[in-house]
Amino acid sequence: MSQQAVPDPTVSRRSNPPRRVLIVGGVAGGASCAARLRRLDESVEIAVFDRGPFVSFANCGLPYYVGNVIEDEGALLVASPEMFHQRFNIEVYTDTEVTAIDRSTRVISVRDLRSGASRSERYDALVLSPGAAPIRPPLPGVDLAGVFAIRNIPDSRRIRSWISDRGATTAVVVGGGFIGLEMVENLVHRGLAVTVLEKLPQVMPPLDPEMAALIKEHLATNGVTLHLGDGLARIDENPGGGLTVVAEHGARLPADLVILAIGVRPEIALARDAGLAIGSRGGIVVDAQMRTPDPNIWAVGDGIEVPDVLTGQETVLPLAGPASREGRVAAESIAGRATRFRGVQATAVVGVLGLTVASTGASEKGLRRAGVTNFEKVYLHPGHHAAYYPGARPIHLKLLFSKPDGRILGAQAVGREGVEKRIDVIATAIQFSGTVHDLAAAELCYAPQFGAAKDPVNLAGMLAENVLNGDMPAADWLALGRGDELLLDVREPDEFAAGHIPNAVNLPLSQLRDRHAELPKNRDIWISCGVGQRAYYATRFLTQHGYRAWNLSGGYATYTAFRDAGLTT
Amino acid sequence: MSQQAVPDPTVSRRSNPPRRVLIVGGVAGGASCAARLRRLDESVEIAVFDRGPFVSFANCGLPYYVGNVIEDEGALLVASPEMFHQRFNIEVYTDTEVTAIDRSTRVISVRDLRSGASRSERYDALVLSPGAAPIRPPLPGVDLAGVFAIRNIPDSRRIRSWISDRGATTAVVVGGGFIGLEMVENLVHRGLAVTVLEKLPQVMPPLDPEMAALIKEHLATNGVTLHLGDGLARIDENPGGGLTVVAEHGARLPADLVILAIGVRPEIALARDAGLAIGSRGGIVVDAQMRTPDPNIWAVGDGIEVPDVLTGQETVLPLAGPASREGRVAAESIAGRATRFRGVQATAVVGVLGLTVASTGASEKGLRRAGVTNFEKVYLHPGHHAAYYPGARPIHLKLLFSKPDGRILGAQAVGREGVEKRIDVIATAIQFSGTVHDLAAAELCYAPQFGAAKDPVNLAGMLAENVLNGDMPAADWLALGRGDELLLDVREPDEFAAGHIPNAVNLPLSQLRDRHAELPKNRDIWISCGVGQRAYYATRFLTQHGYRAWNLSGGYATYTAFRDAGLTT
C-alpha cells in the first residue's frame, strides 16, 4: 500500500473524503463496514486486518459446528479474502494483528503473525471492530487441556477434536447464558452428559427468574444436570485422566471437557492504549455515527458501548444484528452520509433442545436495576396457534409496560413454536415506542395453523390494558401468602385436585354466579385459574358485585414458574 | 325477557347506560361483543340471536374439518349457549332469526326457526353481526346436489358426508382465493384430485400476479389442476352420476363435487330494510366506535365497511381478527368507553400444501386501482434463516413503499417457513406508519435456526433504502425487452447456462472489475443475477464507474415469477 498525502483536516469530510480506510477486525461489524463502504465509494482504498485465520465467518454458528449440526466448516465462511479482493477490491490481511495506533500521525502498527514481521500502515479513517473475548476467570485449572472457550473456528475445531479423539462422554458448561445453553444443546446432540454450573440461581440471566424456571424444567427433563447458584472455584486434573470441576460450595463435577461460557468482555486494549475513551460499561465510546471522540476513528461491534433505547443508558450488547448495522452506519459516516444508529433494545433468541427462548427490551430485574418502578406486568400462556387446530403448544409470555402511559418496556417468551415471532412483533412495536394499546389493536396473520383471531400479541396487549384501566387489578406473586388475602382458585374441582397454590380455596367459575355469596366482601380475594382467563372473568364479576378482587396474572402455570424459581412456596 | 322503561334519549349514555342489549349474530364479532360487554357491565341484560344451530364456532376451521385435519366437530365449538349462560349470564337463542328491526320503537322481530313462532324483543342497544354469505352466482346448476359453499358447520358436515358416502375422487373448486385454496389443500389431503377454476389469470387475487405465480407453480407440482382466466358458465349433471363444470370458454371439468369459493358478500338485508346506511362497497356503514348512524345500533364483523388505514378508503374485509376487535370496540362503546377502531390493513395468511402465503397492506394493483402511482417496490428471496445453518428455505418477498417518504405501503411473501413472521413484523411497522428505514433498523431475533444477522425484514428495508436514495435505480420488469437496454446477467457461466432472461449477456460479477470496459457507457444496462445481491453489487460498481446501470430487483427468481405469470416472455 502506498503512502498518501495527509488530507487537510480543516476541509470538510464530505468534500474531501478519506482516501485510505483501515478496518481492524474482519468479522461481523468490520466485514459489514468494509463491504458497505465499497458499495458507497469505489474510489477509497480499503484494507481489513484480522488476527485470526479467517475473515467474515459465522461466529453465531460455532456451537452448531461443535454439535456437528453444521458438518462442513466451509459453511461457516461467509466470505474469503479472495472474494473480498475480487468482488470488492478490498485487501484482507488475516493472521495479522494491529498492535498500536498512533493517532497523531494516523498510523497503525501491524504484525504479521505468521512471519513475525511488523510494519506501519497509514490511515485517513480507522474503524475498530475488536469484538469481545470470552471471560477466563483467573482460577486454578482454567488453562488445563480440555478447558475451552468458544470464539472462533479454531476453538471449535479443538473442541470437536477433543470430543472425538478422546471419546468424551461428559461435559461441564460453566455459565448458563445464551452461549452456554447453545453449547449444552450441541453437546447433548453429540451424546454427551452435560452439567451446567451457573453462579446465579437461574439459567439465562437476561430473563427474569420465573421465566428462566421454564427453561430449567425443560433442561432437567432432557437429562441436563443443573448446578445453579454456585460458582466455579477451580478445575482439577484427575490422576486417571479427565477433569473435575470444583464449585465454590464444594461440589465436584466430573467432566471430559469443560466449556467456559461465563460471558464476554469488550476487547479494548488497542483502543485504550491509544487513549480512546472507554465507558463505564467497559466498551469503546462512540457517537450515533459510531465515531469515537477522535474524528478519524470509528468503532463498531461487540467492543463498543451503545445506548439502550428503553433506559437511555449505555450498554454493551454482543449481538450480530446490531454489529452488522453498526458497521453499516460507520461506513455511511465515513462516506459522508448522516445515518444514525438508533441504539439497541436487546432482542435475542436461543434454541434449547426444542425449546425457544426469546426476549426484547428490558427485563423486570433490569428495570429495577435502572431504578424504574412505575411499571406493571402480565403473564399469559396462549397456544401458538388456534386451540381448535391440532398441535397448539403454549407460549409462556411476560409483558412489561409503563404504568403512566402503557408504553411497552419489554417482553420474554418461552415455548416451542411461534415464540420468536411474537417477540419480533413486540420488538417492532418497541422500536416505535408503542404501547400495550397498539399490541391489542395489532392486525396480524391469522389462519388456524399460524395464529388466532386474538393473537398472543393481541392478548398480551388486552390483558395489559385491563391492568392499566383498572379492570383487572394485578396481585403481586411475590407477596403470595404474606398477607391475609383469600386465595381463590376458580378452576374445576378435578383441576384443583391435581395441584393448586397452597391454602387456596376452590370455587369454580362455573358455579361462581350461584355461590359468590360464600365469599367475603371485607377481605382481598386473589384469584387464579389455569392460565389466567377464567380468573379474569371471575375478577370482573366479583369486582362488579362489590368484592375486593385481584387477579394472579397467568394463573397456576405462572405459579409453578415462580415456585420452580424458588420465589414462592 | 321483561320489558323495561325506555330511557330518555336526552340523558347521556354514559350516565344512563342501556339496560337491554341484543346482538344479532353469535359468531366472531357478535360473540366477542357479548362477552366483552358482560365483563364491562354486570348489570346490563344481554341476549344473542343466531340463525344457525351453533354460536361462537371457529369458522376459520371449517375447511380443515372438511379435510379431517380437525377430526372432531366439537373442537370447532368455542362456546355453547350453556357456557354463555353459566359463565356470562348471556342468553343465546340459536336457530332463531331476526327478521326485522323497528328503529322507532326499538323492537326487533324474532322467529324461532324450529317452532316457526315469532315474537318481538325490545332493545336499548342493538348490535348487528350478520357476517357475509358466500356468493352463489345465478348460473345453471349451482343449486344441484353436490355443489357446495362453506360457511358453517352444517355446510361442512354435508361436504364431509358427500365425500365419504359417494367415495368422491374429483372436485372442482370455483375460485382461487383464500377459502378456495384452503379447500384445495383439504380436499387434496382427503385424496381427491382437485381442479381450480378461477376467472382471474392468477390465484390469490389479493396478491400481485407475479407473487401469485409462485403459488401456481406449487399447486401444479402438487398435482392440482389449474384452470385460470376462465369463469364458471354452468354446472351439468352427468347422466351416469357426477357433475360437469362448464367454464365460460367451453372447458368441461368433471367433478364428484363442486365447491363455490367465489367470494362473500355482506349480509345487509336486515340492516338495509331497517333503513340503515349501506356504503358503496356494499357493507353496513359505521363510525370508529362501530356505531351506525342510528345511535342505538352498532354493527361489527364481515357485514360492515371499515376504513383501510393505508388508502383511507372504506373496504369490506371478511377476516376474523378485525371482527373480534370490532366486537370488542362496540362493547366498549355501549359501555360508555371511547375506544376507537383503527381501521384495517388486510393482514392475512393462508397455508397451501406446505407453502405459506401472507400479505399485509396494499398490493401494487390495489395501489394503482386507488390511483396511487408515486411508489416503488423491491423483490428479494432471502433464506428463512442463516444460510450456513442447514435447511434454509427461501422467502419470496415483495415490499411496496412510498417514493416521497419511504412509508411502507404493503408486503407480500411466499415460502415455506418464517413467512408469516416477516409479514407480521412488517404489518406492525405499517400500524405505526413506519418507513423502509425503520425496517432496515429493526432489531429482530437472530440465532442461526431462526433468522439472520440481517433478517429478511432488514434486507427488504435496506434494499428499499437503496432504491429511495438512488444507490440502486430499479428497472421495470414489465418494460423488459421493450427498450434498447443491454440485459446483463452477472451470475457465473454455469448458472447462466442453466437458464437466463432472453437476450441477456453474461459477464460474471467475479470478472466485472477486470472486464467492465467491454460494456457500453452510452446505453442503459439492466442488471440481474440469481436473487438480486450480486446484481446490486454490480450496479453499485458500474454506476460509480460512469455506466448507466439499473437493477432488475430480485434477479432471475423474480424473472421466472413474472414469466410464469405471463407478464413477460
* One domain for residues B127 and B274: yes
DSSP B93: E
Distance CA B227, CA B459 (A): 36
pLDDT tens digits along B192-221: 999 999 999 999 999 999 999 999 999 999
Annotate B431-471 with DSSP letters as a single string.
HTT-BHHHHHH------TTT--SS-HHHHHHHHHHHHHTTS
CA distance A64 to B448: 9
pLDDT digits (tens, 9 = 90+) for B403-445: 999 999 999 999 999 999 999 999 999 999 999 999 999 999 9
pTM here?
0.96
3-state secondary structure (DSSP) of residue A282: coil
Longest dimension (CA), chain B: 90
Q: Does B87 touch chain A if contact means CB atoms closer than 8 Å?
A: yes
Answer for the pair A179, A148: CB distance below 8 angstroms, yes or no: no
**How many CA atoms does the CB half-sphere of A368 hold within 13 Å?**
6
Q: Is B88 on the interface with A (CB under 8 A)?
A: yes
The set of cell numbers assigned to A449 is 395453523
Residue B345: inside a domain, yes or no?
no
C-alpha cell at A98: 494491529
> What is the Cα–Cα distance from B105 to B392, expressed in whole angstroms?
64
User: Please, are residues B453 and A60 in contact by the beta-carbon 8 Å criterion?
Assistant: yes
pLDDT of residue B11: 35
With beta carbons under 8 A apart, name residues in chain A contacting B42. Answer: 540-541, 544-545
- Give the mutation candidate from A40, A309, A407, A445 for the B interface (greatest B CB count, under 10 A): A445
CA dihedral defined by A480, A481, A484, A489, rounded to 10 degrees? 70
E strand spans, A283-407 = 297-299, 306-307, 314-315, 348-352, 355-361, 375-380, 395-402
- Rounded-to-integer distance, Cα B538 and Cα B507, Å: 10
B259 DSSP β-pair partners: B148, B173
B243-247 and B232-237 strand pairing: antiparallel
Phi, psi for B474 (deg, rounded to 5):
-95, 125
Cell of B146: 353436490
Query: Which chain A residue has its CA at the smallest distance from B356's CA?
Result: A450
The mean pLDDT value for B281-295 works out to 98
Residue B315 and residue B235 share a domain: no
User: Is residue A154 located within the same domain as residue A257?
Assistant: yes
B62 touches A389 (CB < 8 A):
no
Residue A129 forms part of a structural domain: yes
B244 — phi, psi (to 5°)?
-130, 120
Instruction: Write down the residue that cell numbers 445506548 correspond to.
Output: A307
d(CA A286, CA A57): 25
Q: How many CB atoms lie within 10 A of CB A90?
A: 25
**pLDDT (0 to 100) of residue A13:** 43
Shortest Cα–Cα distance, B144 to chain A (Å): 30
**Does the residue B218 lie in any domain?**
yes
- Closest chain B residue to the Cα of A470, Cα to Cα: B40
Closest CA to A425 of B355, B425, B346, B168: B425
A315: its cell numbers = 450498554
Asked if B388 has any chain A CB less than 8 Å from its own CB, the reply is yes
- Tell me which amino acid residue A532 is: G
Cα B460 to Cα B440: distance, rounded to the nearest angstrom: 7
- Residues in chain B with CB shorter than 8 Å from the CB of A73 are none
Q: Could you tell me if B151 and B257 lie in one domain? A: yes
| Domain-located, residue A81 | yes
Residues B293 and B237 in one domain: no
Residue type, A120: S
% of residues, chain B, pLDDT over 70: 97
Partners of A537 on chain B (C-beta within 8 Å) are 39, 87-88
Beta-bridge partners for B49: B24, B93
At B158, which amino acid appears? R
What is the C-alpha to C-alpha distance for residues A152 and B450, in angstroms, rounded to an integer? 21
In the prediction, which pLDDT does B33 show? 98
ipTM of predicted complex: 0.96
The runs of H, that is alpha helices, within A302-354 are 320-334
Residue A511: left (phi > 0), alpha (psi -120 to 50), or beta? alpha
Angle at B214 between CA B213 and CA B217, to 5 degrees: 85
Structural domain ending residue among the three candidates A262, A284, A314: A262
Q: Does B351 touch chain A (CB under 8 A)?
A: yes
Question: Are the beta carbons of A365 and A208 closer than 8 angstroms?
Answer: yes
Residue of chain B minimizing CA distance to A454: B321
- Signed CA dihedral, B56, B61, B65, B66: sign only: positive
Q: Is B39 on the interface with A (CB under 8 A)?
A: yes
Q: pLDDT grade, residue B18 (50/70/90)?
A: confident
Contact in structure between A531 and A381 (CB atoms under 8 Å): yes
Contact of A61 with chain B, judged by CB distance below 8 Å, is answered with: yes
pLDDT digits (tens, 9 = 90+) for B158-199: 999 999 999 999 999 999 999 999 999 999 999 999 999 999
Give the CA distances from residue A436 to residues A424, A470, B531, in Å, rounded to whole numbers and listed in that order.
Answer: 15, 14, 38
Domain identity same for B213 and B277: no
Grade residue B92 by pLDDT with cuts at 50, 70 and 90. Answer: very high
Q: Mark whether A60 is an active-site residue.
A: yes
Total domains, chain A: 4
Coil, strand or helix at B532:
coil
By DSSP bridging, strand B257-260 and strand B147-148 are parallel
Nearest one of A368, A374, A377, A362 to A472, comparing CA atoms = A377
A231 SS3 class: coil
In a domain, A178, yes or no: yes
What is the rounded radius of gyration, in angstroms, for the C-alpha atoms of chain A? 27
Residue B9 binned pLDDT confidence (cut-offs 50, 70, 90): very low
Q: How far is CA B29 from CA A143, B131, B290, in A?
A: 65, 9, 11
Q: Does B42 touch chain A (CB under 8 A)?
A: yes
Concatenating the DSSP letter of every residue in A512-548 gives: HHHHGGGS-SSSEEEEE-SSSHHHHHHHHHHHHTT-E
Residue where a domain terminates, one of B445, B468, B491: B468
Q: Residue A295's closest CA among A417, A124, A539, A100?
A: A124
* Residue B395 CB-half CA count within 13 A: 30
For residue A3, is it within any domain?
no
pLDDT band per the 50, 70, 90 thresholds, residue B569: confident
Give Cβ neighbours of residue A265 (< 8 Å, ≥ 6 apart): A132, A133, A135, A282
Same domain, B101 and B247: no
- Where in the sequence is the domain holding A156, given as residue range(s)? 147-262
Do A227 and A174 share a structural domain? Answer: yes
Assigned C-alpha cell, B9: 334519549
Tell me the CATH number at B558. Answer: 3.40.250.10
pLDDT for the residue numbered A16 = 64
d(CA B87, nearest CA chain A) in Å = 6
Give the C-alpha separation, B148 to B166, whole Å.
15
Contact A61 B342 (CB under 8 A): no
Q: Following DSSP, what letter does each residue of A140-191 receive, concatenated?
A: TTTTSTTEE--SSHHHHHHHHHHHHHHT--EEEEE--SHHHHHHHHHHHHTT
Scored b (16 or more CB within 10 A) or e, B219-230 reads: beeeebebbbeb
Question: With an 8 Å Cβ cutoff, are A450 and B351 in contact?
Answer: yes
Q: Residue A349: which residues within 8 A CB-CB, separation 6 or more?
A: A356, A357, A358, A419, A420, A423, B445, B446, B447, B450, B451
- In this structure, the answer to whether residues B164 and B205 fall within a common structural domain is yes
- Neighbour tally for B535: CB within 10 Å: 29
B349-384 pLDDT tens trace: 999 999 999 999 999 999 999 899 999 999 999 999
Whether residues B432 and A438 touch (CB distance < 8 A) is answered with: yes
Of A342, A358, A438, the CB nearest to B441: A342
Rounded Cα distance between B446 and B263, Å, is 39
B228 and B316 both lie in a single domain? no
A69 interaction partners in chain B (CB closer than 8 Å): 389-390
Would you call A125 helix, strand, or coil by DSSP?
strand
* CATH classification at residue A65: 3.50.50.60
Cβ proximity of B124 and B106 under 8 Å:
yes
The verdict on A128 and A38 lying in the same domain is: yes
Task: Pick the last residue of a domain from B218, B235, B262.
Answer: B262
Q: Which A residues 107-146 touch B at CB under 8 Å?
A: none
Q: What is the pLDDT of residue A8?
A: 38
Q: Quick one: B38 and B128 in the same domain? A: yes
Instruction: Establish if A246 belongs to a structural domain.
Output: yes
pLDDT score, position A312: 87
Provide block-wise average pLDDT over 10 residues at a time, chain A (569 residues): 37 61 96 97 97 94 97 94 96 98 98 98 98 97 97 96 97 97 98 98 97 97 97 96 97 98 97 98 98 98 96 93 97 96 97 98 95 96 97 98 98 98 98 98 97 97 97 95 95 98 97 97 97 97 97 98 94
Residue B1, domain member (yes or no): no
User: What's the maximum distance between 2 C-alpha atoms anywhere in chain A?
Assistant: 90
Q: Give pLDDT tens digits for A292-324.
A: 999 999 999 999 999 999 988 999 999 999 999
